[in-house]
Amino acid sequence: MNGKTIIGITDCSKYPNYEKWILNEPGVEVLKLSHVKNNFDEIRKCHAVLLTGGEDIHPRFYNRPEYLKLCEQDNMDGKRDEFEWKVLDYTQQNQLPVLGICRGLQLANVFFGGTLIPDIPSAGKPDHSKIKGVDRYHMVNLEPSSLLLKIAGEEKGEVNSAHHQGADRIGQGLRVNAVSADGIVEGLEREKTNGHSFLLLVQWHPERMTDQGSPLVKNIKDSFIKSIRTH
């Protein structure tokens, strides 16, 4: 790819964190894809998309309306769900590289036909949400032969954690690439990469991890940018 690289970043309450993280890369510009502005048509200017974190996804999108009581209902936005569903659909129809972070992983898993754990503690697993407003940190194990392992170059590493939901049934065409010690899915990618655009989904927040030199931060961003420029 010649010229400037434009990455669409979906809008959220912590949008500036993602913008700053991506704009550290030379030759990169960002475009805010906002469910508030409803500027979906601007995706045509983008060479790739970053799906950000944020609110719970309404369980109607994965046909589990009974899960609603376990969701943070005061922290949901159906218009955002619908907008970002269209964004993700566009990326798949037009072979745009995608990096999904936290909610971004969950949205993509649902988009591909998967389901979510509506509340990890209620499912009998250790809490993965923040502690008094501060990210938790824990280890993840990367799956053998995964793209993520190839990218990171390490079989395990420490990541931050700030989520109460997680992937349950995995969507069609996706595979798990990282898990926590308690069995929570921490990353997803395509089962088969040949002939498909880049798709990497992580449950942690690389844009705000303390160690920005970690392979689970730097290498992920580098591989995302490289996938755009070689697209």
Count of beta carbons in the 10 Å neighbourhood of residue 14: 13
Count up the domains in the chain and report the number.
1
Query: Which among 216, 222, 209 has a CA at the least distance from the CA of 17?
Result: 209
pLDDT, tens digit, for every residue of 111-157?
999 999 999 999 999 999 999 999 999 999 999 999 999 999 999 99
As annotated, the active-site residues are 102, 205, 207
pLDDT, tens digit, for every residue of 98-107?
999 999 999 9
Query: Which among 90, 83, 88 has a CA at the least distance from the CA of 36?
Result: 83
pTM above threshold 0.95: yes
Region for residue 165 given its phi and psi (left: phi exceeds 0; alpha: psi -120 to 50; beta: otherwise): beta
CA distance 10 to 51: 6
> What CA dihedral angle connects 45, 85, 40 and 222, to 10 degrees?
-30
Token digits for 148?
């993520």
Question: What CATH number is associated with residue 23?
Answer: 3.40.50.880
Count of beta carbons in the 10 Å neighbourhood of residue 66: 9
Range of the domain at 79: 5-229
